[in-house]
């Protein structure tokens, strides 16, 4: 059962659900969670991850050492095409939307039980400050280097990104205002460069 509780004003919708994991007795875990799809105990045990307070609000942390170039978690949510995404957010105010640059895939993770990928923050400063990145085709969060247990997972939301919409009809792209780059809550529709390869609508 999924219950909607409240909006927190950032476009995020708080939803709780029963933990998806199975207990040792092969029954579904009875704990409820609104931070992803599993209770914190199963998230830690099965995925080696935790969602907890960071200096950016809630953040995603690893409880295990992670090797370079490993997929940490997919960016999960409602999957849609770019057209559908534009239709859903005509004002470009989606804040948990990621779109691939090379495919037509967009993922909207505005529901808090979309999966834990949505909780990963962007480190301030240069993109090198981020220990992870988003893969373009499938929108997975992948480690860029070795990450030690206990570390917050961060990836660049939008540094160096360009406005995408609507690339097909407007042609040339231009840079969003500096204040809008790489920040949560900048209601800009920005896209990844070829290098980072994803679109961040955050
Ligand atoms: Zn559980």
The rounded Å distance from CA 114 to ligand 1 centre is: 16
The rounded Å distance from CA 39 to ligand 1 centre is: 4
104 compared with 6, residue with greater pLDDT: 104
What tens digit of pLDDT does each residue of 115-151 get?
999 999 988 777 789 999 988 888 999 999 999 999 9
CA dist 118 and 120 (Å) reads: 6
The rounded Å distance from CA 24 to ligand 1 centre is: 11
What is the structure's pLDDT at 168? Answer: 32
What is the structure's pLDDT at 55? Answer: 87
Which spans in 54-188 are helix H? 82-88, 167-170
For 146-166, the DSSP string reads -B-TTPBPBB-SSTT-EE-TT
CA dist 117 and 122 (Å) reads: 12
The rounded Å distance from CA 109 to ligand 1 centre is: 21
The rounded Å distance from CA 120 to ligand 1 centre is: 20
DSSP secondary-structure letter at 196?
T
CA dist 13 and 39 (Å) reads: 18
- Whether 17 and 5 have beta carbons less than 8 Å apart is answered as no
What is the structure's pLDDT at 10? Answer: 57
6 compared with 52, residue with greater pLDDT: 52
Write down all domains in the chain, each with its CATH number in brackets.
28-201 (2.170.270.10)
Q: What is the mean pLDDT of residues 8-23?
A: 84
47 compared with 136, residue with greater pLDDT: 47
The rounded Å distance from CA 44 to ligand 1 centre is: 10
61 compared with 24, residue with greater pLDDT: 61
Under the banding of pLDDT at 50, 70 and 90, the label for residue 12 is confident
What is the structure's pLDDT at 196? Answer: 41
Report how far apart, in Å, the C-alpha atoms of 95 and of each of 19, 31, 66, 148, 168 are.
Answer: 25, 28, 28, 29, 22
Give the contacts of 22 (CB within 8 A, at least 6 positions apart).
Answer: 28, 29
The rounded Å distance from CA 103 to ligand 1 centre is: 34
Longest CA pairwise span in the chain (Å): 57
What tens digit of pLDDT does each residue of 146-183 get?
999 999 999 987 533 222 333 333 333 333 444 443 43
Q: What is the mean pLDDT of residues 9-32?
A: 89
What tens digit of pLDDT does each residue of 33-45 get?
999 999 999 999 9
């Amino acid at each position: 059962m999924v219950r909607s509780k409240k909006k927190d004003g950032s476009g995020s919708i708080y939803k709780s659900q029963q933990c998806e994991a199975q207990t040792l007795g092969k029954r579904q875990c009875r704990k409820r969670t609104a931070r992803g799809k599993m209770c914190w105990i199963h998230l830690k045990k099965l995925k080696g991850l935790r969602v907890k307070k960071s200096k950016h609000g809630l953040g995603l942390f690893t409880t295990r050492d992670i090797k370079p170039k490993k997929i940490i978690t997919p960016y999960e949510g409602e999957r849609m095409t770019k057209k559908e995404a534009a239709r859903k957010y005509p004002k470009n105010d989606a804040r948990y939307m990621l779109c691939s640059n090379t495919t037509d895939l967009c993922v909207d993770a505005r529901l808090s039980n979309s999966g834990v990928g949505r909780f990963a923050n962007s480190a301030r400063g240069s993109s090198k400050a981020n220990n992870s990145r988003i893969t373009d085709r499938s929108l997975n969060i992948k480690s860029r280097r070795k990450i030690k247990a206990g570390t917050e997972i961060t990836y660049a939301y939008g540094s160096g990104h360009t406005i995408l919409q609507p690339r097909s009809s407007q042609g040339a792209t231009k840079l969003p205002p500096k204040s809008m780059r790489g920040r949560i809550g900048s209601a800009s529709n920005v896209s990844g460069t070829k290098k980072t390869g994803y679109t961040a609508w955050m």
